[in-house]
Structure 1
């Protein structure tokens, strides 16, 4: 089950998206702003983040910039949603930009696509030591050929 962090200062939007995405089998985390989202992302390492652009305090762009500072968080795909006009150039801060009101079918397709790409990509291990060599491992022998 993939974990999605939803970030928006509009509680009604958070609850609506939570109900819809949880119904599709995703584990949902909620944050009502960029600061709370950064804390939750650091604690839980979600598989994907859906954030609003316009929020008081740390907005969606500042959140994306801060995520890129941390190696463990930098590779999390981000869907940016906003009522603003999308930027003409594609940003490297997020993977998908959706205009509000968000078409739920398009959002679901974007989420499915980003999660499939992330799960099918190379898996990296972070700070995990190599397994200890067992003295009971079989020794290759030419006698058994």
Structure 2
């Protein structure tokens, strides 16, 4: 099951998309702004992010810029949604731009395409070191040899 992080300052939009996407089998995380989204992305490493452009504080553009600073987050595909006119030149900050109100079928198609591309890519997983030993974890006899 793929995890999608939805980011929007409009709670009603978040809940509507959450209901629709959970009904289609996705695990959904919600963030009501860019700062919260960056924190949740770092904590949960979602498979995809759908973000609004216009938000107070850290907007969608700033969120995308910050995501690119972190190797573990830079590879997460992003769908940007906005009521603004899309930029004439394609941005490298996001993968897909959708105009609001978002067509749910177009969103689902973009999500399916981006997730399929991400899962088929050999660079989809970041090499994370093994967790440090816990003081409650039994110690292998190999360590004492």
Q: 1:35 maps to what in 2? A: 35
- Could you say which residue in structure 2 is the equivalent of 1:126? 127
Query: How far 1:2 sits from its partner (Å)?
Result: 0.2
Which stretch of the first structure deviates more once superposed, 117-126 or 97-106? 117-126
Structure 2 residue aligned with 1:139: none
What SS is found at the alignment partner of 2:89? Answer: coil
Asked whether the 8 Å contact 2:72–2:126 carries over to 1, the reply is no
Q: Deviations over 1:49-103 (max 9, x none)?
A: 0000000000000000000000000000000000000000000000000000110
Gaps of 5+ in 2: 131-145
TM-score between the two structures when normalised by the length of structure 2:
0.87
Alpha-carbon distance between aligned partners in 2 of 1:80 and 1:60, rounded to the nearest angstrom: 7
* Structure exhibiting the larger radius of gyration computed from Cα positions: 1
| Cα pair distance change 1:26/1:55, threshold 3 Å | same
Check whether the contact 2:2–2:26 (CA below 8 A) recurs between aligned residues. yes
Cα distance in 2 for partners of 1:6, 1:102 equals 13
Partner of 1:48: 48
| Structure 1 alignment gaps of length 5 or more | 130-145
> How far is the alpha carbon of 1:125 from its aligned partner?
4.4
Detail structure 1 runs of 4+ shifted over 6 Å in the superposition. none
Aligned residues: CA RMSD: 1.0
Structure 1 residue 127, shift from structure 2 partner: 3.2
Match of 2:82 in 1: 82
> For the residues of structure 1 that align with 2:16 and 2:129, how far apart are their CA atoms?
38
CA distance in 2: counterparts of 1:127 and 1:46, whole angstroms: 15
Q: Is the 8 A contact 2:4 2:29 kept in 1?
A: yes
Q: TM-score, normalised by structure 1?
A: 0.87
**C-alpha distance in structure 1 between counterparts of 2:81 and 2:119, whole Å:** 23
